[in-house]
Amino acid sequence: MAITSAWNIQHNGIKYPAGEVIDLLSEEEEQELIDKGKAKRVPVVYVTEDSFTLDGNSQNDSDILTIQQFSDLKADEQKAQLLLLGIDPASKLDLRVQQYTQWFLFSPLGDLDSTPLNQI
């Protein structure tokens, strides 16, 4: 698994800036940081030829919204989509669209090779 730091933290002598993915810790160390509120779990996405799985919840390709489709959603729907992707949604519309755009453009969903996102 992997976690992301909630803010700048230091663990085992290593400094992690806010938002950095930390994936070299034991499950116990990860859980300790999560319990202390210093980190949160990163969802792992597995991609196959016709679907992707987000932490065990299967999604069809048709569930992946284009940036325009995401922009057309209501605020609460946008926030729900971002949360599903493991992204803490911004309060402003333009920032939520920017968050989704960044995920959409940099996710390997077009590279259908069953590789977890946090392993790329």
pLDDT tens by residue, 52-80: 555 555 454 446 788 888 899 899 888 88
Structural domain span for residue 36: 3-41
- pTM confidence score: 0.43
71 and 25 share one domain: no
Number of domains in the chain: 2
Supply the DSSP symbol for 23: -
70 and 36 share one domain: no
Q: Is the pLDDT of residue 30 over 80?
A: yes
Stretch 75-87: mean pLDDT: 86
67 and 83 share one domain: yes
SS3 for 16? strand
